[in-house]
Every structure is written in structure tokens, then in C-alpha cells.
Amino acid sequence: MGFLPGFRFRKQIGVAKGVKVNLSKSRVSTSLGGKGATINVGADGRRMVTLGIPGTGMSYRTPLTGPIMLLLAGVILLVFIAWLVQPELVRAALHWWQPAWF
């Protein structure tokens, strides 16, 4: 058993845009990213990726392995190339989930 089982503590501290330090009762980690996609690196070196739909509370979390890193790099490259060709289309696609009143 740990210290006060059942008691939870979590605090996020923004260090820079897209970079946060996460503190909890049992560990410290760093998060890179923002709404929709985040990479979390723990003090023990464990890396996790979280992909979600902002505003819904739904997300998927999995360990960051070699194939997933290659897939993410490919998606980032495709988005970058599309941004060079059609920046307004990419901007619209990245913000499709936002309600009209935002």
C-alpha cells in the first residue's frame, strides 16, 4: 500500500507553449503537445501518446513505440506539406471540431 490509498493529487504546470510538467502523489512527468495529441514522458523514461477529440472527454492512450513514432512522423510530414500548399484548408481541417460559437 502506498501513502494514503485512495487519495489522489495531480497538478500541471505550464513551462512553455505546449510543454507542461505534471506532478502527482507518486511521480513527475513532462507533457508535449496540446489539445488532441500529447506525448507524455515520465521520469522513468516511459513514453505514452494520447490522442483525443477535444471537448468530448474521449481519448486513446498507448505506449509510444517505434511504429507509432513513425506513423506520427508521417502524419506530421503530410500535414506540413498540405500546409505549404493549402494553409487555409489545413487550418479548417484542424479546427473542424470547434463549435461555431467559439
In whole angstroms, what is the distance from residue 16 CA to residue 43 CA? 19
pLDDT string in tens for the chain (102-residue length): 566 677 778 888 999 888 999 888 888 999 988 877 888 988 888 899 888 877 778 888 889 888 888 888 888 888 889 889 998 888 887 776 665 554
- Rounded to two decimals, the pTM is 0.60
